[in-house]
A and B are shown apart, each in its own frame.
Chain A
Amino acid sequence: KQEVTQIPAALSVPEGENLVLNCSFTDSAIYNLQWFRQDPGKGLTSLLLIQSSQREQTSGRLNASLDKSSGRSTLYIAASQPGDSATYLCAVSSGGSYIPTFGRGTSLIVHP
C-alpha cells in the first residue's frame, strides 16, 4: 500500500525566501505525482503534474522534481510571497489503480 509523507508539516518564513517542500512515497512504481495547493476552506488547485517518465516540471516560480528511485519529490518555491500562504498537498498515483494517495500536506505561512 502506497504511503505518502510530507515534511515539514508546517512552515513559516519571511517574504522573499526560497522554499523547499518535501514529499516521499514508499512504492516507486508510480504513474504520476501531483502537487496541489489548498486554501483554507477551499478545494484543490493543481500546481504541477509530473508523469513517471519525467524528472521535473516548472511553472512560474514553482519547480517540482521527481526521483522515483529514492521515492522523493520536492516542490521548490522561489521568492516566496504572502499570497503563497496555503497548504500544499502531494498526491501519488501508483501504477495500476491511478487513484492518488495524498500526503497530509505542508501548511505554509509567508509573512510580510
Chain B
Amino acid sequence: GAVVSQHPSWVICKSGTSVKIECRSLDFQATTMFWYRQFPKQSLMLMATSNEGSKATYEQGVEKDKFLINHASLTLSTLTVTSAHPEDSSFYICSARDRGLDSTDTQYFGPGTRLTVL
C-alpha cells in the first residue's frame, strides 16, 4: 500500500516557539491531505483539509492563524503550530488522499507526531 511519512516523530519545545511538522506521500501524488489531532484516549479529530496550491479548509473551532498549513507540492504538506502553548500538546496525524485508477478513494495515514510544549 501507499506510504505516508511524518517528520519529526516527536518534538519537545518551549512555550511561545513555533513548530513545523511535515507530511509526505512517498509513492503517490496527493492533491489533498488532512491534518488530525488526537488527545489521550480520544479519537482523531479533523483539524483541516490541505489542498495543493490553495488555502487550507479549517474545521470549526480550529484557529487558522495558530495552525498554519501549507501544501506546496503534490507530495508535501506542512503544519506549523505557531506560538505553541502547553494546551497544544497532542498527537498530530496527517493523511494523504490517493485517488486510484479503479475509482477508489483511499486515505493513507502517517505515523503521527507527538508534540509536547513545556
A sample of 14 cross-chain residue pairs with beta-carbon separation below 8 angstroms, ordered by A number, consists of: A31-B105, A32-B105, A32-B106, A41-B114, A43-B93, A43-B109, A43-B110, A44-B109, A46-B1, A98-B97, A99-B34, A102-B44, A103-B43, A104-B42
- Asked whether, in the complex, the Cβ of B43 is within 8 Å of the Cβ of A102, the reply is yes
- Asked whether, in the complex, the Cβ of A36 is within 8 Å of the Cβ of B109, the reply is yes
How many Å lie between the Cα of A31 and that of B97 in the bound state?
Answer: 14
Number of chain B residues whose Cβ lies closer than 8 Å to a Cβ of chain A: 21
Residue B111 CB within 8 A of the other chain: yes
Residue A61 CB within 8 A of the other chain: no
Name B's A-contacting residues (CB within 8 A): 1, 6, 34, 42-44, 46, 49, 91, 93, 97, 104-112, 114
In whole Å, how far is B39's beta carbon from the nearest beta carbon of chain A?
11
- Asked whether, in the complex, the Cβ of B43 is within 8 Å of the Cβ of A99, the reply is no
How many Å lie between the Cα of A91 and that of B49 in the bound state?
Answer: 17
How many Å lie between the Cα of A105 and that of B43 in the bound state?
Answer: 7
- Asked whether, in the complex, the Cβ of B105 is within 8 Å of the Cβ of A42, the reply is no
- Asked whether, in the complex, the Cβ of A42 is within 8 Å of the Cβ of B49, the reply is no
**Chain A stretch 59-112: residues in CB contact (< 8 A) with chain B:** 89, 91, 93, 98-100, 102-105
If over half of A's interface residues share one DSSP class (helix, strand or loop), that class is named, otherwise mixed; here it is: strand
Name A's B-contacting residues (CB within 8 A): 31-32, 34, 36, 41-44, 46, 49, 51, 89, 91, 93, 98-100, 102-105
- Asked whether, in the complex, the Cβ of A43 is within 8 Å of the Cβ of B49, the reply is no
In whole Å, how far is B108's beta carbon from the nearest beta carbon of chain A?
7
Tell me the nearest residue of chain A to B104, going by C-beta: A51
Given known contacts A99-B49, A103-B43, A105-B43, A46 and B97 CB-to-CB distance under 8 angstroms: no
How many Å lie between the Cα of A105 and that of B110 in the bound state?
Answer: 18
- Asked whether, in the complex, the Cβ of A99 is within 8 Å of the Cβ of B46, the reply is yes
- Asked whether, in the complex, the Cβ of A43 is within 8 Å of the Cβ of B106, the reply is no
Residues of the B chain whose Cβ atoms lie less than 8 Å from the Cβ of A46: 1, 108-109
